[in-house]
């Protein structure tokens, strides 16, 4: 039951992404690649005064990589850089299988990727967007 719901969330973000487009006024841009699957995304953010005002991605890849990037942007747009970094840490720990229920709730739709923790071959797909975000914000 829950697995079906999670699959639907992922399919929906893959087929009808909300944040997959260009972002002409972005001030941060970074490409992330996962050669083992062929996932290749470019993440763009507009960050002002420590707040992620807007974000988008372009690129190609498997459903998990694309849905994960879309869900991540949905979660971090409108948040501060430090909030986004905290969510990124929680997400990466979820993929390793170690978070509390309270932390799981903070991830909102990103929780739909929890099953990837049992699919080692898909881990790099799921974390691609988040690792790219991590690198971008570290340079801020």
Binding site for Zn ion (CB under 5 A): 37, 39, 62, 65, 125
Interatomic CA distance for residues 127 and 116, integer angstroms: 10
Angstrom distance (rounded) from CA 57 to CA 111: 20
Structure tokens at 16: 């009808």
**Nearer to Zn ion among residue 39 and residue 134 (C-beta):** 39
Q: How far is the CB of 80 from Zn ion (least distance, A)?
A: 29
Min. distance of Cβ 135 from Zn ion in angstroms? 18
Copy the structure tokens of residue 125: 């797909």
**What's the CA gap between 109 and 86, in Å, rounded?**
16
Nearer Cβ to Zn ion (47/123):
123
Least separation in angstroms between residue 34's CB and Zn ion is: 6
C-alpha atoms less than 13 angstroms from C-alpha of 44 in its C-beta half-sphere: 13
The least distance separating Zn ion from the CB of residue 97, rounded to whole angstroms, comes to 19
| C-beta closer to Zn ion: residue 36 or 48 | 36
**Residue indicated by tokens 């992922």:** 10
> Which one, 26 or 62, has the nearer CB to Zn ion?
62
CA-to-CA dists, residue 53 to 19, 27, 56, 140, angstroms:
13, 11, 11, 14
Residue closer to Zn ion, measured from CB, 55 or 61: 61
Minimal distance in Å, beta carbon 84 to Zn ion? 22
Tokens 């990466």, located at residue:
92
């Amino acid at each position: 039951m829950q697995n079906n719901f999670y699959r639907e969330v992922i399919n929906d973000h893959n087929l009808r992404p909300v944040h997959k487009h260009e972002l002409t006024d972005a001030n941060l841009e970074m490409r992330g690649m996962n050669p083992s699957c062929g996932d290749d995304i470019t993440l763009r953010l507009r960050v002002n005064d420590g707040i992620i005002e807007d974000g988008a991605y372009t690129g190609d890849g498997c459903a998990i990589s694309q849905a994960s990037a879309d869900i991540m942007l949905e979660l971090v747009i409108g948040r501060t850089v430090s909030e986004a970094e905290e969510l990124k840490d929680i997400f990466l720990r979820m993929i390793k299988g170690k978070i509390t229920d309270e932390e799981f709730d903070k991830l909102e739709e990103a929780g739909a990727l929890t099953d990837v923790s049992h699919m080692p071959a898909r881990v790099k797909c799921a974390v691609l967007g988040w690792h790219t975000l991590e690198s971008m914000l570290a340079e801020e």
